[in-house]
Amino acid sequence: MNELLNRLAEDHARLARLLKLLEEMLDRFHAGDEPDYELMCELVEYMLDYADQIHHPTEDLIFERLLGQPGQGHDVLRRLMLQHNALGQLNRRFRESLEGIVHEEVLSREEVEQQGRELLATLREHMRLEDEEAFPLAAELLGAADWVELLAEAPTTGDPVFGKSDPERFRGIYARLKEELRG
């Protein structure tokens, strides 16, 4: 793989880790416990911030380049690009519900959980399609010159959790990740 695909694959591995954490908190929520809602909000905020501002625009550049070539996979690429917008909407809706809970609004637990589960399932399926279909297609069809141009065009801001960190904004995520490393 090349630098850009490696970065996207690393992003997916990191996001899968955070989705597992979010799923564990949703399981606690389902069991009637009170999970760390502020940490849940941070996780969703991270997904909105990094995925919607850096990760998805980078993928869209690659997918647009592939769509400009004759060949296979165009339906999957178009579907993935449409899902980027839909994922942002799912994230925002779930974040608003979580923030409502933090601000003591009365919300249906079932609806909030359903929103979280839908987000998890959609993200996991989306990443699976990219990893198994779109990224291999890009590796096969794009040449060295394409990758140089795409790397120059791709957003370069660092990952606020796993890269150039923002420990104030995402302190709950940092604390949880440090706990995992110790345990």
- Smallest CA-to-CA distance from 39 within 183, 182, 178 is with 178
Provide the terminal-to-terminal Cα distance of the chain, rounded to the nearest Å: 32
- The whole-number pLDDT of residue 145 equals 95
Q: What is the mean pLDDT of residues 88-100?
A: 91
Would you say residue 61 has pLDDT above 90? yes
**CATH code of the domain made up of 3-182:** 1.20.120.520
Would you say residue 165 has pLDDT above 90? no
Q: Tell me the average pLDDT of the chain.
A: 89
- The whole-number pLDDT of residue 1 equals 63
Would you say residue 167 has pLDDT above 70? no
Query: Any residues with CB less than 8 A from the CB of 30 and at least 6 apart, and which?
Result: 113
Q: What is the mean pLDDT of residues 64-69?
A: 94
Q: What is the pTM of this model?
A: 0.88
